[in-house]
Amino acid sequence: MTNILAPHQGGGGLALAAHLHLACAIPNSSYFEMLHEPPGLSSDMFQWYLAEPLRVTSDGFIVAPASPGLGVEPDPAKIARYRI
């Protein structure tokens, strides 16, 4: 019997993309847990700094990006105020 693995991610957009890719790479991972309880707690709240946030479908599915690396990019304009 194979155990089902469900990675849990409760942070920002870069970590969300990394954990999503992890879940896709594990054969016995058919679930992915993340913070997304719209309208009050949308996953967009944790991805505010990404140029293109990952979207959850109305059916509750999320697709790993196909771009190189993690497949997401920070938006320089959104994070500029945090520059030291």
Looking at the domain assignment, is residue 3 inside a domain? no
Tokens coding 47:
């991805």
Domain that holds residue 56: 8-82
* Residue 27, preceding peptide bond in cis (omega within 30° of 0): no
Looking at residue 71, its pLDDT comes to 94
Please give the average per-residue pLDDT across 2-25, as a whole number.
Answer: 84
Looking at the domain assignment, is residue 54 inside a domain? yes
- Higher pLDDT among residues 69 and 4, named by residue: 69
Burial class (CB in 10 A: 0-12, 13-18, 19+), 21: middle
Q: Considering the chain, what is the average pLDDT of its residues?
A: 85
Looking at the domain assignment, is residue 1 inside a domain? no
The count of structural domains within the chain is 1
Instruction: Say which DSSP state 28 is in.
Output: T
Encode pLDDT of 30-48 as tens digits.
878 877 777 777 777 888 8
High-pLDDT (> 70) share of the chain, %:
98
Looking at the domain assignment, is residue 2 inside a domain? no
Looking at the domain assignment, is residue 39 inside a domain? yes
Looking at the domain assignment, is residue 34 inside a domain? yes
Model confidence, pTM:
0.80
